[in-house]
Homo-oligomer: A and B are copies of this chain.
């Protein structure tokens, strides 16, 4: 039986099968609901109200709803099934609002590491796809080679390689005859594997002599692939001069997706845009999304469509900014964690989640953009940067590439902290990696007033004499919540001020900011002028926390921002996991903290981290601050490098193969390190000589 579900105030109606959850119905209507639990009914975020429909038109399963919301008639959309025609009201606080993604600043025309390296200069401009303009001789009765034979002969002449192997797919051949004649035998051809005049000739590049060049999905094969062809101007049929060659470098994060439009001929970056990953409607972290993907036959399609939709939105943005046609985007390189790359390519991610945590693949064939539904040139080759393992993805490989970890003798630690903390330790001779589940709190998840690094998020906290507090927010806006860097700061300062002890327990300090809230002790970091003028009692606190967890962009901003003892415990577990991961890597190669020559902090969170505070809480190693470097979004940078230089892409393949993956759950070492790290800064204070005990 099919039922009509209408959502208000959007006034969108979808027809669904009986038994469909309201959450699924909302997703079908394009309405994105918040969720931390991925539809398990536990997080109480996806609340909606049934405003019309027969008494038995909705079936309610067990699900967690805050008491106040329950009294107001809210139900969890993920646990409410459609049983008849319904009208559903979706409140602002349950909607997943768009948020600004902080994209790294890019100096136009260069791909820079934090060291100022010019990656294009380092690897050479040799993009995934190259354009070659050809002037062919028109055929005659006696020079009557086929269209394809004629094109190949011209390419061989151009390359100076008479036996150059050239291929194409059927779609290319289907278009070729018309294009050749439209261009009056003058055409632009876009090629994969092309290295320019003479480069593929006697030098024998790609010959299979050296074993290392022989691997799966290699692009550096002797074969050149013709990908697209267009008539050149001169045919005078109003054709623009054969259109440009642009590429898209994409960083697919669990939370955000960032794309850069680059000019393949010149290596310049024309525009960069970020957006939030629309997969968030299916859960905040990779695990809940993998569960969704496996729950129904179209689950994986949902996740795939969501990320493709996110990228397409970025395509619209960067092409509009740069004034470039989307069909002139002719090559795409994407980097993301292993799960994101699986979703992007619609590969089954199920076994990533289940012990022993096996991905379908860690390197991937080149696919035509049209097959993936990307709104760029349908023939554009799309590649993903290779991953290392289930929880160390192509984003990390890209980071290791751009930071040059594998190019130095000295030992480097590379860390990308987000929901997961991924890290690589090593030098030119060896590299080990691991991933530790830091949980969502550094991205604002599971924290009373946690918020992503959007304007209004508290990013700096100072606790002065008499427990007075000063906060600074992203963009200087009125505080709306607190983000990862603010939380690290707050934890360090609360400890410094003696408000919490080494285990994270609150002392009953003498301040109106300290109080016993409904969930235990808490400390008020900020209160609005209105709240400051009014009551400061527990009732307001109760009302606040019932207002639905994380603050929201729409609806009223919180009147107070607090940090609770439960928040502190969450943060200690998160920082402990990161530190235990670092210790486990060091232990695996028998090195100590002193052997780390440099530490790279990557990721959006890392960009704003106060290293001194991160060391004080025992999250990062207590080494000289001069050894730390912030490297920003190295995943996006690496994708761009791999797009502009086939050598760089090959390097990511070699890196991915070279990095040893340490599965932390395989031994007892990590758990012991983790337990030791559940103090501020640590059980073993000798590891933090610079931190007061």
Chain A interface residues toward B at CB < 8 A: 139-149, 152, 162-170, 173-174, 176-178, 181, 204, 206-209, 211-212, 214-218, 221-223, 345-348, 350-351, 355-365, 367, 371, 389-390, 661, 663, 665-666
Contact = CB atoms under 8 A, between A and B. Distances in A.
30 contacts: A140-B356, A141-B356, A141-B666, A144-B390, A144-B661, A145-B358, A147-B351, A147-B358, A147-B359, A148-B216, A148-B360, A148-B361, A163-B212, A165-B214, A165-B216, A168-B365, A169-B365, A170-B367, A173-B345, A173-B361, A173-B365, A174-B347, A174-B360, A176-B360, A177-B348, A178-B348, A204-B208, A207-B209, A214-B222, A221-B221
Given A173-B360, A358-B139, A365-B168, A163 B663 contact: no
Contact of A170 (B350, B351, B362, B365): B365
Contacts of A221: 165, 221-223
A361 B146 contact: yes
Given A207-B208, A208-B204, A144 B356 contact: yes
Contacts of A178: 348
A356 B177 contact: no
B208 A360 contact: no
Contact of A364 (B144, B145, B152, B170): B170
A146 B209 CA distance: 27
Given A346-B174, A360-B174, A216 B169 contact: no
Contacts of A204: 208
Contacts of A358: 139, 144-147, 177
A149 B211 CA distance: 17
Contacts of A371: 170
Contacts of A665: 141
A163 B215 contact: yes
A393 to B, nearest CB: 12
A146 B345 CA distance: 16
Contacts of A345: 170, 173
Nearest to A166: B216
A278 B542 CA distance: 78
A223 B225 CA distance: 15
A142 B148 CA distance: 50
Contact of A139 (B139, B165, B207, B356): B356
Of listed A141, A142, A360, A389, residue having the most chain B CB within 10 A? A360
A380 to B, nearest CB: 15
Contacts of A181: 351
Nearest to A148: B361
A178 B389 CA distance: 18
Contact of A217 (B146, B167, B214, B351): B167
A144 B663 contact: yes
Contacts of A208: 165, 204, 206-208, 222
B216 A361 contact: no
Of listed A147, A212, A663, residue having the most chain B CB within 10 A? A147
Given A141-B663, A142-B663, A174-B347, 18 more contacts: A139-B356, A140-B356, A144-B358, A146-B360, A146-B389, A146-B390, A148-B216, A149-B362, A165-B215, A166-B216, A167-B216, A169-B365, A170-B347, A170-B371, A173-B347, A176-B361, A204-B208, A207-B207
Contact of A152 (B142, B145, B216): B216
Contact of A146 (B141, B144, B164, B362): B362
Contacts of A218: 165
A618 to B, nearest CB: 27
A661 B149 CA distance: 14
A327 to B, nearest CB: 21
A148 B387 CA distance: 12
Of listed A162, A168, A206, A365, residue having the most chain B CB within 10 A? A365
Contacts of A355: 141
A211 B200 CA distance: 13
A223 B213 CA distance: 12
A216 B191 CA distance: 14
Contacts of A212: 163
A361 B169 CA distance: 12
A214 B146 contact: no
